Chain A
Amino acid sequence: MLYMKTRVTFRLPQDLADELRELPNQTRFVEAALREALGVACPLCQGSGRCQPRRLAISNFRRRALPALERGSALELRRIVRIGRELSATSLELERSAASGVAFVLTRGREVLLAGQLERSGSVSPKNIAQRGES
């Protein structure tokens, strides 16, 4: 239904213009490329171009009855907190794990960014680094 669409004129470098003219269906190609480019919105700003400052809520050790951290695991927790703030994460859930360590889940909204275990030695065992959620 080409007659229902709006005509747009734009300038291109000669080589790109030549390649575009060689395509059998230029309109459909440009439309698909535009939709794809516009459809990948930044997950931090949702395409607005401006990020609102978000506060990272972190589980409270006392309320969760979490074990005391050792120096190494505290440093790992600090790294995870800083990563979370850089990624505009909204929540860092901490829970006591079976091996008297601390398990963590870093999320932004419903999207899980990182999950794993703070080991006593200070190393992190990441369970997964989730891809961007579909929902």
Chain B
Amino acid sequence: MIFVITRLCRDCVDGACVEACPVDCIVEHAPQGRPSELPNQLFIDPDQCIGCRMCEPACPWQAIFDETDVPFAFRDDIELNAIAGARPAEFVVPEARLTRQVSAEEVLANRLKWTQQRGSAK
């Protein structure tokens, strides 16, 4: 595994990283015949990622981290991304989505929200 999409992506699911990835390794969970049990976010298939670093700056929510730099509060998301490599048949490369400009305040608020949720869950 090289890069990881953390929960900062959840419910925002911007497609800029999908557009940036040259090997189509950014996927969403879309199992056949049943709803997804995974959170509404994108994942990086660790078996396909080549570590080119194109996705990291593309994400307006700053949700993508080098595996070795994932903040402690989001370390669980490394395992979530690994599911994409373990069950590739359940994942698809999503259609390109409209992306929007995000302010620094929104990025900070999103980060705070998920960090606090992680903290209160413990």
Contact = CB atoms under 8 A, between A and B. Distances in A.
Interface of A: 58-62, 66, 68-69, 74-75, 77-78, 81-82
Interface residues of B, number: 11
A69 B51 CA distance: 11
The 5 lowest CB-CB distance pairs between A and B, nearest first, are: A78-B22, A77-B22, A61-B51, A62-B51, A74-B22
Contacts of B54: 69, 74
Interface of B: 2, 20-24, 50-54
Q: Dominant SS at the B interface?
A: loop
Given A74-B20, A74-B54, A82-B24, 4 more contacts: A58-B23, A59-B50, A68-B52, A81-B24
B30 to A, nearest CB: 18
Nearest to A82: B24
Nearest to B49: A60
A26 B29 CA distance: 61
22 contacts: A58-B50, A59-B50, A60-B2, A60-B50, A60-B51, A61-B50, A61-B52, A62-B2, A62-B51, A66-B52, A68-B53, A69-B52, A69-B53, A74-B20, A74-B52, A77-B22, A78-B21, A78-B22, A78-B23, A81-B23, A81-B24, A82-B24
